[in-house]
Amino acid sequence: MILYVMDTDHLSLYERGDPIIRNRILIIRQTASDSLAITVINVEEQCAGRLAQIRKATTTQALVFAYEKLKATLVLFSDIQVLDYDMRANDRFQEFREAGVRIGTQDLRIAAIALTHNATLLTRNLRDFERVPGLVIQDWSV
């Protein structure tokens, strides 16, 4: 069984209802729901975005909408496997940093988590993630 881990870009497309991503995820969830995951880094990024949206709301309508989006995001998180950033992932992250892998910190943490679980990372950010040795990546948005 292949474990697929969604990067934040694929998670965002899924939340927005992108038909290509939704259909592929639906098939996975119906056939092997435990083969799809996100990372705690995705949770951090999504929550930070939702909380920023709440703080920036200048109208009641915008505030209500922002809270609705936050709730929908939390419901999604409760319905999907969330992989930890543990010591193994941190060790992998540090190895890549010491080896000079130059991608964003959060992206490298996501890559480290995916690698510790022998997972395939679903992302549109092929340019950066291709720099991570051994990481298997796919773009389901095309």
Domain CATH code at residue 47: 3.40.50.1010
Beta-bridge partners for 83:
39
Average pLDDT over residues 16-45: 92
Please report the pLDDT score of residue 82 as a whole number: 97
Domain count, the chain: 1
Give the C-alpha separation, 137 to 119, whole Å. 9
The Cβ of residue 5 has, within 10 Å, a number of other Cβ atoms equal to 25
Phi–psi pair at 120, nearest 5 degrees: -95, 130
pTM to 2 decimal places: 0.92
Q: Tell me the residue range of the domain where 75 lies.
A: 4-138
Mean of all residue pLDDT scores within the chain: 96
Residue 12, amino acid: S
The Cβ of residue 122 has, within 10 Å, a number of other Cβ atoms equal to 26
